[in-house]
Amino acid sequence: MTNEELLALTRRLSQQQFGRPFKHRVFFNRRLRTTGGRYHLRDHHIDINPKMAAAGPAVLRGVILHELCHYHLHLTGQDYHHRSRAFKALLKRVGGSRFAPAVQLQRGWLYRCQGCGVEVLRQRRFNTWRFRCARCGRRFKLLGRREVLK
């Protein structure tokens, strides 16, 4: 998903769920590690963790709705903090996620056994002629460098 597609999705969700337009920027920020997204009070833009998009459309939708709750409450002058009743009620009404799920991308080399088809993700490359599958004894085939959700 690109930043333009994310912006279109955010604008559509804002109009459908809140009845108000989203007039600012939203984009993926790879530097986010432990949060699903972040709403900036000064310029009203939203950062989204790209791992949330990799986790699936339902997770991404929940995170966007969560950040839009902060956005719309702040712009209307209401209490936008997590602890406030207004935030909790609005979040429940629109169906946003209260917490971001623990999603971890693991990078490595992906191999598939040519016999039983089991896939193995390794940090380091290994010699496929030397090592065999422990299940069936056949050789592995290198599929390439991959990022896998864990």
Catalytic annotation, residues: 67
Cα 5 to chain centroid distance, Å, stands at 14
Q: What is the DSSP letter of 10?
A: H
- For 20, half-sphere exposure in the C-beta direction (CA atoms, 13 angstrom radius) is 12
Q: How many CB atoms lie within 10 A of CB 62?
A: 24
Please state the separation of Cα 144 from the chain's center in Å. Answer: 23
